[in-house]
Structure formats: C-alpha cells, structure tokens
Structure 1
Amino acid sequence: MSAVWGPGTPPVVVADQDEYRADVAVVGSGAGGATTAWALADSGARVLVLERGDFLPHEPENWEPEAVLGQRRYDTTETWSTPSGERFRPMAYYNVGGATKIYGAALIRMRESDFGVVEHLDGMSPAWPFAYADLEPYYGEAERLFKVHGRSGVDPTEPPRSTPFAYPPVAHEPMVAELSAALERGGLHPHHLELGIQRGPGEPCVRCGTCDCFPCLVSAKSDAEVVAMRPALRSDTVRLLTGTRATRLHTDPTGRRVTGISAVRAGRTVRVRAGVVVVSCGAVNSAVLLLRSPAGAGDHTVANSSGLVGRNLMFHNNSVVLAVDPRRRNTVRYQKTLAVNDFYRGGPGFPYPMGNLQLMGKVYPPAVAGLYPYVPGPVLAWLLRRSVDWWVMSEDLPDPGNRVVLRGGRIVVDRRARNIRAHHRLVSTVRSHMRDAGYPLTSFRTMGPAATGHQCGTVVAGTDPRTSVLDGYCRSHDVRNLFVVDAGFFPSSAAVNPTLTIVAQALRTARQGGLLPA
C-alpha cells in the first residue's frame, strides 16, 4: 500500500483505491476517534481514520452568529425522524473533529458517585463496569492533552485527583465575578468552569464572544482536530481518509470477527480491511452502522446478540435559563467561565440528584429565536443584551424503550425524556437564586428533540453479554476485534458534559484494552 503508507506520503490520503488496508481502522474523527489515533501514533501500528466529512473551513463566517446559528452553516443537512414521522434536522456535525469543532469546550470529570448505582426521583442510574479510580489517571492525561484550565478545591462534588490542573482557570470578567460573589452570598459554591482552550502567553485565544457553539477561526479551542487528529497525522503510521462514509461492517461467517468496512468515497464504494476496527461515529451513528451490518450468517446484526444496540439512548435534560437585569447591559464577551454543582446530588428538601449549572457563551438572538417564536426580534435582542445565560443540565435515565432504529433506511430517534421532574426542580432553583442575585426577570426553555448533543448509551458497556454490548474497555462482547469508542458506551449519562470522559476512556482503551492487533 505504498500509495498510502510510508515517509513522504500525504497524511490526508489523496490516493483513490478500491481497497485500503490498515492494522487499525477508526471510523470517525471526533473526540473518541481522534484521541484513539493520537494514542496509537507511536505504537507502530498503521492507523487509518475514516471521516465522512472534510476539514471545517477557516472563514469569516466562523464567527458570524447569523451564519452559524441562524443559517446553521456547519450543521449536517440530513434529517432524522421521530416515531410519528416528523422529520427534523439534528445538531450533528460531519467534519474532522466532529462535534468538538463547535462545542463549548467544557471538559468536566464525572463525579465519583456517577460510576455507581444512583437513586433518582424517577428511577435508578446503573453502575458502570469500572470505577472512577480506574479512569482517574486517564482523566489527568485527557486534561493535559486537551489543555484543560481549572482550579481544585472549590466545587463540593469534585472527585479525587492524582494530578493538579496543568493550566490555571480562565478568569471571570467583572460582571461574572460579581455574579459569582452574589451566589456565594446566597450560600452556593460557584467555581471556575473547566475549559479546554489555548489561552496564555504565546497561545492563540483572543477571548472572543463567539466560542460556545462556534468554530474557532484561530484554532484556539481544544477540539479533537487541533489537539489530537493533526498531531497524530505527523506520524508516518497515521493516515486520514476524508469524504469517506462507512456504510457497513463485514464479518467472517461466524459473525465473531470483523473483516472489513464498506464505505462510499467520491461517489463509489471502497473497501477497508483492518485487523481491528474502532467505531467512533457518535452514539446515534455508531449504533446505526452496527444495525446496518449483518453478522455473518446469523439472525442478528453485528455486536447485537443482546438485542441492545440502539437501545438505552440518552440525551441530557437541558434547558436554557435567561436571567435579565433590565437596569444594565451585559458587557461580558467571554461569559462561559462559571459553574455550580451544589445541586448535583440534591438540595434542601430534595434528596435526589438535580444536576449541573454552567454559564453559556453569550447568547445571540439567532440561537434562541426558535425557542421564543412569539417574542418580537427587537425585544428579544434587548433582553439578551441584558441577560446572563445558563445551561441547566440534568441526568437522563437509561430506558431500553428509548432507542435509535432504522426504518426504510432512515434514522428514527425514539426517546422520551426520563427524570424530567428533577430537571424542572433544578430550573426553578436556579431561577430563584438568580432573582436573589439581582436578576428579577427569568425565563427558561427546555431543549426539544432536535437538540441531539450529548447523545449516549446506545451500545452500553457492562460485564454481562446478555445485558450489555461492550465490555469495560469498549470491546464488543460478540466481536473480539471490534471496539466502539464514543459516548455510546455510557451506561448512564450523569449530568456533566461527556467529552472528557470519552477522551479518557479512549486513552484507557488504547493503553490497556488490547486494542492493538496481535
């Protein structure tokens, strides 16, 4: 395969071949796939990453709210469906780096208790097949790789750490610092949000107002392309196929070994053969790829003897809370620096977990116009110039009835939110605290079915092949040379952003999980 491998060959493959060969094929270049490639770059194994999209362009529109939020310039144009047949355009991103190109870069460790059984108001959150202590060293490595800025010792739910943050917290602007002090006076423990950005002496971050939900024009966000995929491509053993959409996996007649991948590249079908296959397409699309792939001569699809592929689909229960002080304008440019976890495990008079609060990047009218369709545009703009904006996040509980399926080749997302009463309690709590902090007007909107970020749980990990799809290292119970490394493996969703846990588990799998072919 001299057209692909070896010194001097381009890291982004330009050779058009009918077949490509590798030791490890990775499907997807988001947080899980790019980190896996980075972790294997010095292993000597030939790693080929398949990405259905291309590099997201650096252009002025990266920082234009109307282009990014109003026109959804970088979102996929494909549509998914609800069970009733209603089509919607998901918040999905097919480009090198995946959804991390537009994420808010909040990189938070799950709490220690999240790895065990947790009782919620409306059900139970199951235990993971490994403990926080097993993942903790890799959380530290993930924080260093993604240049996470933070500070220990303030958050009352902070889990144990064996290493300190390598980068200091991102400073609050004056108005956020005032809010933090007001919340402290109200008895809370606000802390600096853990953020993956490249800010400091010699670093490119300019602390702009277009970070959360926007691509970074100056590559200062610690997204998977910038910190993992591009560094991995400096190795002679890592290559990237862009514009290559995997359509199915092939197995041997027993269905116990993957032998190759069919993909569409430049309008024609190509084949990728590899000793090990890592699927990292995101929880929905990873499940879809498995569901499209018959397992040998058996009566089920790849890795699906349990019948659980696609089931237990979870998103977080998310709401936007706008808190307005009509007496003054919000002059903050980079707002997303503050978080509160006082209600993560419960609160006064409510012994059940509620969730996490974190400031959003400053909200622009195109981002919420659809949530407030009856508010005239000038009025909405006036309110947003005076608002502080919170992302309110609660755990969604696993349910086998919540799932992603294929109907006539179309992706159908069948999910009813679980644990919503605790989420509404959290929304009411933050609104009350914001009024006490000097913001008399508050409003909230809960995100609808098109808000498909933070998807997880479709190929759950566990110890029993009858009740899980993967083992604790993301290896298929059924197919020994198949791994799924994205949030699909999550047995529960917890109530923090999933990216850092995906990255840490990708590192753990690459280091300890037997991922390299024998």
Structure 2
Amino acid sequence: MTDLKSSYDIVIIGAGVGGGALANALAAPGREILMIERGPRLRREPDNWSVDAVFHKRKYAAKEQWRDRDGQLFSPSTYYYVGGNSKFFGAATVRFRKEDFEALQHEGGVAPAWPVSYDEFEPYYARAERLMGTHGEAGLDPIEPPRSGPMPYPAIGHEPEIAWFETKLRKKGLRPFPLPIAIDYHEGGACARCRTCDGFACKIGAKGDAEVRLVNPALAKGGVTLITEAYVHRLVTDASGRRVTGVELDYQGERRTVSAEIFVSSAGAINSSALLLRSRNDKHPQGLGNNTSDQLGRNYMAHNNTAMMAISPFKKNRVVFQKSMAINDFYLANKERPYPLGNVQGLGKLQAGMLTASVKWAPERMMALFAERSVDWWLMSEDLPDPENRVGVDSDGTIRLSYTPNNLKAHGELVKVWTRIMRSLGYPLIVTQRMDIKVSMHQCGTARFGNDPATSVLDTNCRVWDVDNLYVVDASFLPSSAGFNPSLTIVAQAQRTAEHILKELGEPLTVPMPSIRTPEPVLV
C-alpha cells in the first residue's frame, strides 16, 4: 500500500505514453512527483496471449460504456492500466513526415500546419526512439524525413513469407521498408518473436510499452510515487481561476484532495478532455482551458483504419511475427492519385478466433482456413480535424464521443489499390474490415496546441492557455493526426514539455541536440 501525501511538486494524471515519458524526463531524487493511474498493473499471465480472453471475453478492456453522437451506448476498446493503451499496441514507433508538420492537402480537405516545424521536433524524436528502443533501418523509407542519426537498434528482419512480398513488391516499383518497431529483439533481449504481440499484452515484458520503457525506469530514478486504481474526478482552481490548487480523487475508498505546484493531465485525448470539462467552475464555465477558444474536446481524430486479409487458396502463410514491413509509396501524392492515400503495414498475424470475435456470422472453421492462408495488412489513412467531432460529458457523467468519419474517399482508394496489388501477387480473395468508433487506440486532437489562444487549447509547450500551472501531455495536443501511430510523437512532445517545466522550476535540462542530416536517397 502506497502512502498518499497531501502535497507534491508535480502531479501527473495517467501512466501511459505521455505521462510515462514526462515522468521519465522529470524524475530525480529529491523531486516529489505523484503519478495517478486509474487502473492497476496488468498481471503477466497466460490470458495475456489468449485469443479467447483478449478478443472474445474482452477481459482487459475498460468496463465502462460511452455514448456516440446519437446517444447510443457502446463499449470502447480502451485500456486502463499502468502503460495505458500501449500495453496492447502493435509497437510501431514511426516519426511523422516533414510534410505532416506543414499544411497538407488531402482529398477531403487540408490538414493544418503545426505551430512547430519538423526540424525543431527532430532531436526529440531521436530521444524518443532511444527511450522506446526502436528497431529499424534509416534511409529505406522513400519519404523518410531528415534525421540526425541511425535507429537505436537494427531492423528485426523479415521471415521468409514477408521477404517474398518485399521482393515481389520491389519488382512492381514499390519501395517497402522495415517498419520501425519497439520490441526487445536484440542480443540479450527478451522478445520471443511470437504471434501474440499486436493487439495483445506481452506476458514476458518484451514489448516497448509505456510501463516497460517509461514508467518503470522513471520509478527507478527516484522521486516518483505511483498510485494505481485511483480515479480523478476534477481539478480545483484558486479564486482567480488562473492556477490549479488541487486534484480531487478517489483512492483506497476515500475522496482525497492533493495539491501541487504543477499539474499534468496525461489521461489520453478522450479522458483528458473529459477531466477538464468536468472541472468547470465559475471562472471556467465551459471547462478548464476553454474560455477563449471553445476548442476543448473538439477536433477528435482516430484515423481511418482497415484490416485486410489477402487469401491464397493454394499457399499457406507460416509466418509468426508478421508486423515487420511497411509501404509509404501512397502516403503523399503518388502515381495513383494526386493526393495522399495513407500507409500500409504488416498486421500481427490474424488467428481464427480473432476474426470470429469481430465477424460474428463467420463459422470458426472457415475463418481458420482463411487465417492459415492469408497475409494480413493494416491500412491507415489520415482523418482530418473537424470541430464537430468532439468529446463531451453528459449530465450523468458518461463520456459522449460524437464522431463522423471524413477523408473516406482517399482511404477507400488505398484499400482498392492494395487489393489490386494483392490480387496481382496471387491472393484473389480479399476480406476487409474498417474499424469503427469503438476502436479508440489512436485517439488524438481534442486539446490542440498552437500559437494563438483563440484557436487552440494549449501553447506549444502543452500548457493550458487559461491556467498557468496546468499541462496536457498526451495525444490531445495533436493539431492533425497524420497517418501513423502517434505514440512516438507523444513521447517526443513530452520531452519538449519536460524541458519547459524544468526551466520553469529553475532547473534547465541540458541534453545535446544532434544536427539533422537527410538520409541518402534510395536507389530502386
């Protein structure tokens, strides 16, 4: 049992990627940081790798319901544990492209420019890759942005089945490359290269999730106290509304209030917005950080995602770890279309039970036959910020996620293009499933950062414009979603915010910033 004090230097709400990365950067003996996690530690147990437990029984998913735009209840695929949603992510740690930081024209509209440039962000990406333990090989991605050095670890390599696809795709003029991925797969590493990584928790601790790579190392540094199974109700401000004075939470059966000099919400783009909305008061009648812009909770994004099975009736796929390759030839304007379509990457090997959990009508035996003959892909396209796509809190406290997908034409064209390519390689049967509102693993954008308090919730250091000592450090800050998992970008931004906080405390963080170099062009 952890003793909870009444006051700390810094309170961080949430022990996922954002909170873990921030705590890791700020942790030091003598500093007093409290991390508050809503869920427990996730036990390492056989069910971590059980298709039935994870996909059918949904043993680890949050036991709560949200409402959609029409008020219909649904069970979201979100996870409350130390490590957050990263406990179940596919471990892809990809930098956004240089173009993602600029205004980028899509078929469905324009993704807005960021208030910081890629060049300014790059040193923090380099630091984030080291923190997460990314494997990859620089210089092979045809649209790779400039970088100051190589990946921390070499690419994990392809199994024969995926190597065959690499050869065939190159013959078609495409430029596949090793997917940057955070798993402990190197000399002395713990990774067993299993088929239960993408979508599963790792029972041997070999995935680079936030608990393993960020939170546990932060605790080891000293100065950080972690409490679990503690629910934060609201943040309380002083009479002026300019400073948060305390956080109200339920912990070990009691309602407690904890004070601090600095408060950080890292509860995820949906729950951070919900927390700030629940914290409304006379000075902030629309929620903390919402007085000027009315942007809090708005511009929710979660990507347009489709899982694809390309099935051959004649060829079995014996691959174990399938998530090793990515294709970015269609990510920007390309020979197929004059606008971006998105990213294609290997999907963790689908198994029969995983399919029947989503496709209820399908016989298990048929899905088993499909699974052993399929190569599986994850197709991801950018969705665009829309102020009407938003997070709210109903009068009964239930989260309402109002979301209408956009930029779907481009995503549909990506699916068609990849279907055509798979069929040309001898995989005539294509089964696809587009992810819906329940899949909230890539949630982002509900408290965008910017240079103008009239159009953003946070400044470029992720501090709430209206409140001097409140920060939001998770995917809420993203002004656009790009077309990749946001985890690495969250870790990078957390490093920027940590530097700012340390300067505010009079303790500058001095980390050498390597110069940027552009990768050598790839000859295909």
Pick the TM interval, shorter chain.
over 0.9
1:439-492 deviation per Cα after TM superposition (whole angstroms, max 9, x unaligned): 121121111111111000100111110100001111111111111000010000
Match of 2:483 among 495, 507, 510: 495
For residues 474 and 126 of structure 1, the distance between their equivalents in structure 2, rounded to whole angstroms, comes to: 18
Whether 1:469 aligns to 2:457 is yes
Per-residue CA deviation, residues 255-306 of structure 1 (Å, 9 max, x unaligned), is 1111110011123211111100010000000000000002454433211112
The CA distance in 2 between the partners of 1:483 and 1:96, in whole Å, is 20
Aligned AA (1:362): K
Query: What is aligned with 1:145?
Result: 131
Which residue of 81, 93, 114 maps to 1:107? 93
Asked if 2 retains the 8 angstrom alpha-carbon contact of 1:29 and 1:50, the reply is yes
2:46 to 57, 60, 80: 60
Cα offset for 1:201?
A: 1.5
Q: Indicate whether 1:294 and 2:300 are aligned.
A: no
Alignment check: 8 A CA contact 1:107 1:499 kept: yes
1:332 & 1:376 partners in 2: Cα distance?
23
Give the aligned length. 504
Distance in 2 between the 1:279 and 1:295 partners?
A: 18
Counterpart selection for 1:390 from 377, 400, 405: 377
Secondary structure, aligned partner of 2:345: strand
Give the corresponding residue for 1:162: 148
Does the 8 A contact of 2:247 with 2:257 survive in 1?
yes
Matches within 5 A, 1:14-413: 14-15=2-3, 17=4, 20-42=6-28, 44-305=30-291, 306-408=293-395, 409-413=397-401
Indicate if the aligned counterparts of 1:254 and 1:295 stay in contact, CA closer than 8 A.
no
Range with bigger deviation, 372-381 or 177-186 = 372-381
CA contact (8 A) 1:254 1:298 kept: no
Paired amino acid for 1:243: E
1:507 is the counterpart of 2:481: no
- Partners in 2 of 1:404 and 1:298 — Cα distance? 17
5+ unaligned residues in a row in structure 2: which ranges? 507-524
The answer to whether structure 1 residue 417 and structure 2 residue 394 are counterparts is no
Whether the aligned pair in 1 keeps the contact of 2:26 and 2:502 (CA below 8 Å) is no
* Secondary structure class of the residue paired with 1:276: strand
| Residue identity in the other structure for 1:80 | W
- 2:473 aligned partner, one-letter code: V
Which amino acid in structure 2 is aligned with residue 315 of structure 1?
A
Does the Cα contact within 8 Å between 2:246 and 2:257 map onto a contact in 1? yes
Contact between 2:21 and 2:214, CA under 8 Å: does it hold in 1? Answer: yes
1:451 aligns with 2:439: yes
Q: Deviations over 1:380-423 (max 9, x none)?
A: 11101111111100000000000011112111110001101000
The residue matched to 2:488 in structure 1 has which SS?
A: helix
Q: Residues 186 and 161 of structure 1: is their aligned pair in 2 closer, same or farther, counting only changes over 3 Å?
A: same
The residue identity in structure 2 corresponding to 1:372 is V
CA pair 298-441 structure 1, distance change in 2 beyond 3 A: closer
Structure 1 letter corresponding to 2:362: V
Which secondary structure does the structure 2 equivalent of 1:389 belong to? strand
Is the 2:298–2:445 Cα contact (8 Å) retained in structure 1? yes
Taking the aligned partners of 2:16 and 2:296, their CA distance within structure 1 comes to 20
Q: Is the 8 A contact 1:276 1:515 kept in 2?
A: no
Q: Where does residue 510 of structure 2 map in the other structure?
A: none
1:152: how far off?
Answer: 1.3
So what's the TM-score if we normalise by structure 1?
Answer: 0.95
Shift of 1:370: 4.6
Of residues 450, 464, 474, the one that matches 1:486 is 474
Inter-partner Cα distance in structure 2 for 1:514 and 1:258: 18
Greater CA drift, 79-88 or 384-393 = 79-88
Judge conservation of contact 1:259–1:273 (CA < 8 Å) in 2.
Answer: yes
**Preserved CA contact (<8 Å) 1:275 1:517:** no
Deviation of 1:245 (Å): 1.1
Alpha-carbon spacing, 1:373–1:308, altered in 2? closer, same or farther (3 Å): same
Percent identity, aligned pairs only?
A: 45
Post-superposition offset of 1:438: 2.0
The 3 A distance-change label for structure 1 pair 300 and 515 is: farther
Instruction: Decide whether the 8 Å contact of 2:55 with 2:357 is kept in 1.
Output: no
1:295-353: per-residue Cα shift (whole Å, max 9, x none)?
45443321111211100111100001110111121111111001000000022241111
Q: Secondary structure at the match of 1:196?
A: coil
Structure 1: gaps (5+ residues): 1-12
Aligned partners of 1:313 and 1:399 also within 8 Å? yes
Alignment partners' CA distance in 2, 1:271 and 1:485 = 21
- Corresponding residue SS for 2:156: coil
**What is the CA-CA distance between 1:238 and the residue it aligns to?**
0.8
Q: How many Å separate the matches in 1 of 2:255 and 2:222?
A: 26
More deviation, 106-115/441-450: 441-450
Could you say what secondary structure the match of 1:81 adopts?
strand
Contact 1:150 1:192 (8 Å CA) reproduced:
yes
Larger deviation, residues 299-308 vs 179-188: 299-308
Contact kept? 1:253, 1:296, Cα under 8 Å: no
Can you list the C-alpha shifts for 1:85-104, whole angstroms capped at 9, x where unaligned?
A: 21111011100000111111
- In structure 1, what residue type is equivalent to 2:300? L
Partner Cα separation in structure 1 for residue 321 and residue 190 of structure 2: 15
